[in-house]
Amino acid sequence: MRRSFLPIVPLFALSLSACVALPADAPAGSSNDSSNGVESTDLTHAFPSMEASAEPERSRAPKEMFTHTNCKGKTYRHANYSFSYSESDEQSEWVAYELTREEVEGNLDRKDEFAADPIVETGSADPGDYQNSGYDRGHLAPSADMRFDATAMEDCFLTSNVSPQVKGFNNGVWNDLEMQTRSWTKKYERIYVVTGPVLPRNEKAAKKMFTTKRGKDVRTNVTVPDKFYKILYDFSKKGKEKMIAFVIPNEATDTPFTEFVTTVDEVERLTGIDFFSNLSKDFQEKCESRSDLSKWPEATYLNYSNTHSFNH
């Protein structure tokens, strides 16, 4: 895990930091506050380096600018993504990261070495829980998004980034959406991604995954989600920001992901999470209530996975 160190700064700069919402991928234990934080999307006053951009039409916000609340989990941070881990479900309720064109063009090989996440204080799921369970160890942040860096690739195989997925879903419509996300990233240069399972808020309603050990079915603490969501935020050009969201049942289907478009507001209703909570209320209402597929380039990976084989 990479560590970052803050330089000594003048007192007025420290005072300024108190006015900025805590990033979603702040150190563990720092994000159970569900306040809305900054009430303006113009962050140039807090980050002066943004004003010196050679491309003034593009927002130059820091990589870790967005916050999301927790419904059931606690926020942790790895070097290249943050996540909210729900101990009662033994998986993350959201994983968030910025994806850039340069990162999409990475070419590191996939490494199928799943492991428990050492930074989760309560302990993350045991990779062995998934053996003989009938479910894939489905990535939330896909390994193909992390091919730009060896640490990113290693971290994405931690079980905090894994959720039980039906094989036909994981290798089908969900994989199509992941590939489409990378295609759109190449178009827009960068996209912010939030993805996760729709977890039951009533613990009694949680469907738990079973594994087979020594010929016996053993109940695990891993919840099997009925649905998964993915939120994409294009903020590459100031004034032309847009969001789109998808909620897809955890089942094999020939229905393309374009038929599962919804709004961020709807994902918030389903999950109890306030996404982009540090953006102004007006901005949230404008972007989170709309999902217009026509404003995104034509989807080219519809039912693609049914006729191609590859790693993801």
pLDDT tens per residue across span 269-288: 999 999 999 999 999 999 99
Please state which of the ranges 44-48, 76-80, 88-92, 121-125 shows the lowest mean pLDDT: 44-48
Beta bridge partners of 91: 86
Q: Stretch 246-259: mean pLDDT, rounded?
A: 96
Please state which of the ranges 42-51, 264-273, 290-299 shows the lowest mean pLDDT: 42-51
Q: Stretch 122-134: mean pLDDT, rounded?
A: 92
Whether the CA torsion 285, 291, 292, 296 is positive or negative: it is positive
- The whole-number pLDDT of residue 61 equals 33
Q: Which helix (H) or strand (E) holds 245?
A: strand 242-249
- The whole-number pLDDT of residue 307 equals 62
Q: Stretch 231-255: mean pLDDT, rounded?
A: 95
Among 45, 68, 78, 139, the active-site one is 139
Greatest mean pLDDT range, 42-56, 105-119, 243-257, 279-293: 243-257
The dihedral formed by the CA atoms of 205, 211, 214 and 217, expressed in degrees to the nearest 10: 30
**Residue 113 reports pLDDT greater than 60:** yes
Instruction: Determine contact, residues 106/150, Cβ cutoff 8 Å.
Output: no
Q: Tell which residue, 221, 299, 217, 210, has the closest CA to residue 260.
A: 299
**Residue 20 reports pLDDT greater than 70:** no
**Residue 29 reports pLDDT greater than 90:** no
Task: Render the burial of 265-300: b for 16+ CB within 10 Å, e for the rest.
Answer: bebbeebebbbbbbbbeeebeebbeebeeeebeebe
- The whole-number pLDDT of residue 58 equals 35
**Residue 229 reports pLDDT greater than 90:** yes
- In this prediction, residue 216 has a pLDDT band, given cuts at 50, 70 and 90, of confident
**Residue 16 reports pLDDT greater than 80:** no
- The whole-number pLDDT of residue 312 equals 53
**Residue 190 reports pLDDT greater than 50:** yes
- The whole-number pLDDT of residue 171 equals 94
**Residue 191 reports pLDDT greater than 90:** yes
- In this prediction, residue 52 has a pLDDT band, given cuts at 50, 70 and 90, of very low
Average model confidence (pLDDT) for the chain? 81
Q: Where are the alpha helices (DSSP H) in 10-105?
A: 11-17, 101-104
- The fold for domain 11-295 equals Extracellular Endonuclease; Chain A (3.40.570)
Q: Is 139 noted as a catalytic residue in this protein?
A: yes
- The whole-number pLDDT of residue 64 equals 60
CA distance 269 to 8: 42
CB atoms within 10 A of CB 181: 22
